[in-house]
Amino acid sequence: MFECTLIQGELFRKLIVSIQDLVQDGNFMCDSNGISLQGMDSSHVALVAMALKKEGFADYRCDRDVTLGINFANLGKILKCMGSKDRLSIRAQEEGDSALFVFESEDSNRMSNFELKLMQIDQEQLGVPETQYKAVIRMPSSELQRICKDLSAIGDTVSISATKEGIKFSVGGDIGSGDMTLRQSDSGEVDGDDSEKIMIELEEPVQQNFALRYLNNFTKASSLSSMVTLSLGTDMPLVIEYKMDNLGYIRYYLAPKIDDEA
Amino acid sequence: MFECTLIQGELFRKLIVSIQDLVQDGNFMCDSNGISLQGMDSSHVALVAMALKKEGFADYRCDRDVTLGINFANLGKILKCMGSKDRLSIRAQEEGDSALFVFESEDSNRMSNFELKLMQIDQEQLGVPETQYKAVIRMPSSELQRICKDLSAIGDTVSISATKEGIKFSVGGDIGSGDMTLRQSDSGEVDGDDSEKIMIELEEPVQQNFALRYLNNFTKASSLSSMVTLSLGTDMPLVIEYKMDNLGYIRYYLAPKIDDEA
Amino acid sequence: MFECTLIQGELFRKLIVSIQDLVQDGNFMCDSNGISLQGMDSSHVALVAMALKKEGFADYRCDRDVTLGINFANLGKILKCMGSKDRLSIRAQEEGDSALFVFESEDSNRMSNFELKLMQIDQEQLGVPETQYKAVIRMPSSELQRICKDLSAIGDTVSISATKEGIKFSVGGDIGSGDMTLRQSDSGEVDGDDSEKIMIELEEPVQQNFALRYLNNFTKASSLSSMVTLSLGTDMPLVIEYKMDNLGYIRYYLAPKIDDEA
């Protein structure tokens, strides 16, 4: 028997929204530590990894490891039926062919039960090596979302470069070219409230090109967290991470575009 | 001569919006008591009935009975030109081939006159028998609208069942199944402000299946009233009623789906 | 070298939005007095004229006259990347084949540079004669926008007639006909705050017909100014002007429809 309850069910709905346009289906791996998921997009360029710790749930019980094969579009349809303030419980049997999603309104006057058919999905779990990145940038998630959306009007590929001074997004296209630079916030400012601040940890300057199409997909997760972290290295995937306090994270990995002048 | 004036013209606009996607055209029957309308949808599954009492109008004068044959889409276009706070007057001659709609702004600085061509519509008025329903449920109209919209993502047919405990909407489809249950509010709660409360008058439990497509059409009337009443019987049409204080009501009748496991 | 800076960059973005659906490309004429533009729509029925005075800019420097050939859709894409509170600077060389648009956020933490490729556009500047109009109407721009949009649901052509009493917009179509009349505000009211007031300067009553399609295009400029001025004469173009305090104006000229009963 697997069973967990999340007070803010809405968070789980947003998570699925952040996954479903990128990955068609995948396995929720539920064990005594929490729920995790890995999935690649159909063109095998981007990887999503999600991990939710049991400590983030109001209730969490997992007697034996359970794998839930989920079609994300279908789960998304079911989660649309959840009220924005509803509590969410997920229940599944070890060998069952469906999972139960229960939504309960704050005042307990509305109660919903949805059964989602599960799938058999053959999928190997990829080991993502822990790496030392040359640059780690923390910035407001809404800012990253806006920049990626805006620059898409000009071109397909963005060049991201990080220096001590700031992070620069450049794009080129038929109509011209452009760049947007975010200056690192002063350390004095950063001491206080760190929201809306831009912080850069830099080992050495780095510059890489990425497809804006994927970045626009990733930034749908912006509603999960006010801040986002970008980790950049040379010839290694960009990592974009949204952390949900106490509950866990969703990470997107994107391979750089090589030989593209962007 | 027929002439009437409604202070909240917006209410009439909302009424027509609630009708025009379901019924193409119909006769406004104007007599000394008020205005009434009946119309069936093109597939003859659903019936709309509207009645506006003369007491709800600021002015009402009907020397002789008048029948106004209206194309609702065309009337809708004209009513779009009305300001949201405008006063609405309707005027028609007994034998005229057009009706006049006059909109006047609160400060009387903007005055609009629109003439709508009338149609000859052969339509028999159906007698809807007064029936004793097994279950009458009063609930927030926004709640019904949301439930019907949400469940449409899962399947085409909803099963509505009413018991002493509450009202349950169930749906099934390819991806799984689900149900949403609204608990009857405690009588203590109901004594006070009855908005947002769910009240069930039950003679005996009842369960019937309905096409969600029609319910989604009916619930466009939700802006007319914060509460809606559902009346259910066995093998008889569901009645969904929106009451506008003092002015009257709009009612939708929908035949149940038979032999559908839903 | 041409260089100018506008504190409210957003105003310039709105200007381009007000032009780009009507005119494909055109020349910004920059000289020591300011920036001006003229453009006709592809069917040569409507003319747009814009003039921005150097006094409206925080900085303005124009060593020699510069002509910037602009594709408005492309410039619109670039200006979409500007934040709503950003400062905008435009820079260009006399013989350059591109112009630089610089956006700077209020706190100077975000800085964007966009280079737009320029075009060679053969375009003669039309002299628009100063005329004495029979009627000049000043009214809220949102009101004009709403009226034009609403009446489009009924017909294609609007008849605008101005008298001492007010301004009347009439339309006719298959489904019927309609008119909306705005009464001139009392002079007493006008003495105070003139926003939301309707003022008519009338030499003699005038009535002309115009294509609503164009008016709907012009009224996209409504966000530039809360008031709009309509100037009407007999058998001469209607002029619709939006004034931006200190900065300048955008004017639309539209030839009347002749021999159309509207």
Predicted confidence (pLDDT) per residue in C40-77, tens digit? 998 889 999 999 999 999 999 999 999 999 999 999 99
Which CA distances in Å does A65 have to A36, A97, A142, C38? 11, 15, 36, 71
pLDDT digits (tens, 9 = 90+) for B161-183: 999 989 999 999 999 999 999 99
Residues B253, B255, B257, CA angle at the centre, nearest 5°?
145
Q: B110 touching C, CB under 8 A? A: yes
pLDDT at C185: 81
Query: In chain C, which residues have their Cβ closer than 8 Å to the Cβ of A182?
Result: 109-110
> Residue A74's closest chain B neighbor by CA?
B175
CA distance C140 to chain A (A): 32
Interface residue of B77, B97, B108 to substitute, partner C, most C CBs within 10 Å: B77
Q: C92 touching A, CB under 8 A? A: no
Residues 6+ apart with CB under 8 A from C43: none
| Top-tier CATH class for A135-254 | alpha beta
Q: Which fold has domain B2-117?
A: Proliferating Cell Nuclear Antigen (3.70.10)
Least trusted range by pLDDT, from A219-228, C73-82, C121-130: C121-130
pLDDT at A226: 96
pLDDT at A149: 96
> Residue A80's closest chain B neighbor by CA?
B150
Least trusted range by pLDDT, from A38-47, A186-195, A203-212: A186-195
**Mean pLDDT, to the nearest integer, of B113-141?**
90
Residues B72, C159, C232, CA angle at the centre, nearest 5°?
150
Number of helices (H) and strands (E), helices first, in chain A? 5, 18
List the single residue in A176, A178, A183 with the smallest CB-CB distance to C109.
Answer: A183
Q: In this complex, do C176 and B78 lie within 8 Å of one another by their Cβ atoms?
A: yes
Interface residue of A109, A111, A115, A119 to substitute, partner B, most B CBs within 10 Å: A109
Q: In this complex, do B98 and C178 lie within 8 Å of one another by their Cβ atoms?
A: no
Model ipTM? 0.89
Query: In chain A, which residues have their Cβ closer than 8 Å to the Cβ of C108?
Result: 183
List the single residue in A143, A178, A198 with the smallest CB-CB distance to C81.
Answer: A178
Distance between CA atoms of residues A200 and A161, nearest Å: 12
**Mean predicted lDDT score pLDDT of chain B:** 92
Residue A48 per-residue DSSP state: E
Distance between CA atoms of residues C181 and B113, nearest Å: 9
Q: B250 touching A, CB under 8 A? A: no
Q: C182 touching B, CB under 8 A? A: yes
**Mean pLDDT, to the nearest integer, of A29-58?**
95
Q: Please count the residue pairs, one from chain A and one from chain B, whose beta carbons lie less than 8 angstroms apart.
A: 51
Q: Which two tokens stand for residue A123?
A: 């999928």
pLDDT at B86: 97
Query: In chain B, which residues have their Cβ closer than 8 Å to the Cβ of C154?
Result: 77-78, 81, 114
Q: Please count the residue pairs, one from chain B and one from chain C, whose beta carbons lie less than 8 angstroms apart.
A: 51
Query: Does position C225 have pLDDT exceeding 70, yes or no?
Result: yes
**Mean predicted lDDT score pLDDT of chain A:** 92
Least trusted range by pLDDT, from A251-255, C130-134, C194-198: C194-198
Q: In this complex, do B98 and C180 lie within 8 Å of one another by their Cβ atoms?
A: no
Distance between CA atoms of residues C195 and B108, nearest Å: 17
Query: Does position B79 have pLDDT exceeding 90, yes or no?
Result: yes
List the single residue in B153, B175, B182 with the smallest CB-CB distance to A110.
Answer: B182
Query: In chain C, which residues have their Cβ closer than 8 Å to the Cβ of B98?
Result: 176
pLDDT digits (tens, 9 = 90+) for B139-149: 999 999 999 99
pLDDT at A184: 87
Distance between CA atoms of residues A80 and A10, nearest Å: 10
Distance between CA atoms of residues A103 and B151, nearest Å: 14
pLDDT at A143: 95
Percent above pLDDT 90 for chain B: 82
CB-CB contact of A158 with A151 (8 Å): yes
Q: In this complex, do C81 and A153 lie within 8 Å of one another by their Cβ atoms?
A: yes
pLDDT at A187: 62
> Residue C70's closest chain A neighbor by CA?
A175
Interface residue of A81, A88, A105, A111 to substitute, partner B, most B CBs within 10 Å: A81
**Mean pLDDT, to the nearest integer, of B205-216?**
97
At B232, the pLDDT band (50, 70, 90 cuts) reads very high
Distance between CA atoms of residues A2 and C36, nearest Å: 70
Q: In this complex, do C80 and A153 lie within 8 Å of one another by their Cβ atoms?
A: yes
Sorted by where each begins, the domain ranges of chain C are 2-117, 135-254
Distance between CA atoms of residues B141 and B196, nearest Å: 9
At C127, the pLDDT band (50, 70, 90 cuts) reads confident
Least trusted range by pLDDT, from B21-30, B126-135, C73-82, C145-154: B126-135
Query: In chain B, which residues have their Cβ closer than 8 Å to the Cβ of C180?
Result: 81, 110-112
β-bridge partners, A166:
A183
CA distance A181 to chain C (A): 5
**Mean pLDDT, to the nearest integer, of A180-209?**
80
**Mean pLDDT, to the nearest integer, of A117-126?**
87
pLDDT digits (tens, 9 = 90+) for C159-179: 999 999 899 999 999 999 999
Distance between CA atoms of residues C18 and C38, nearest Å: 13
At B194, the pLDDT band (50, 70, 90 cuts) reads low
Query: Does position A262 have pLDDT exceeding 60, yes or no?
Result: no
pLDDT at A131: 84
Percent above pLDDT 90 for chain A: 83
pLDDT at A197: 87
At C248, the pLDDT band (50, 70, 90 cuts) reads very high
Query: Do the domains A2-117 and A135-254 sit in the same CATH topology, yes or no?
Result: yes
List the single residue in B154, B175, B182 with the smallest CB-CB distance to A109.
Answer: B182
